Homo-oligomer: A and B are copies of this chain.
Amino acid sequence: MQVELNRLHRWLQHAGKRLLVLVEGRDTAGKGGVISAISDCLNPRSCHVVALPKPTERERGQWYFQRYVPHLPAAGEITLFDRSWYNRAGVEKVMGYCSEAEYEAFLRQVPVFERLLVEDGILLFKYWLSVDQDRQEERFAERAADPLKRWKLSPVDLKAREKYREYGEARDAMFRATHSDYAPWTVVDFNDQKRGRLAMIRHLLERLPDVSVPEPAFELPPLKGKPGREQFRGGVRPINA
């Protein structure tokens, strides 16, 4: 599938198309993992991962979508959002970080905003990664125990952990308001992360044209003379490996 992702990216560049993928879902579901699986095999100069920090004071006084818009893909680009504007319908709703009025305004604006993007030609995909609570608990425990993963665990996560059911309800309300023909949600089961990653990437590839853009063959004519070896003049020498 990595080969297919590369072919897809070449087609986007050739055709001047834009691909926008929103990755949402439960804590610990594996959003970061599937995003890396996609982006690691593509050219980082035109495949971007966007994981915005908390809004600043000034941003909180702006149009809600304002801080996301500058990151939308340009022609030939792939942009992967690790969480997205849907924060407002998930963590902000459940943890009470926005008012009821802001929440409802958001649900009204999203379909209109997304339709503008899709009508403009952006290829928009929205994935929600699901995981049962017992698997989530195992992963939280692992993060708490493993010094390599502990930075993934924040105080908000710990509070959110007790609200598994409320997150599910918020997700259902979000689907009701924002699942549309032109911007549908796709739910992928990430109880098994490896299978989840494969299912999601396959789903994405199947919905996009599989066009093989011919590449200029790279010819590497034989070098003149013997291949050189590193030689260092002056005091700087390689360290011992």
Contact = CB atoms under 8 A, between A and B. Distances in A.
Interface residues of A, number: 108
Given A70-B69, A134-B227, A241-B198, A172 B62 contact: no
A6 B63 CA distance: 24
A241 B162 contact: no
B218 A144 contact: yes
Given A176-B234, A189-B241, A230-B168, A41 B116 contact: no
Copies of this polypeptide in the complex: 4
A92 to B, nearest CB: 16
Contacts of A152: 43
Given A63-B122, A158-B218, 9 more contacts: A6-B147, A7-B147, A63-B117, A69-B69, A132-B228, A136-B227, A137-B227, A161-B220, A175-B236
Interface of A: 2-3, 6-7, 9-10, 16, 18, 32, 36, 40-45, 49, 51, 53, 56, 58-66, 69-70, 72-76, 105, 108-109, 112-113, 115-117, 119-120, 122, 128, 130-134, 136-137, 140-141, 143-144, 147-148, 150-153, 158, 161-162, 164-165, 168, 172, 175-176, 179, 184-189, 192, 195-196, 198-199, 203, 215, 218-220, 223-224, 227-241
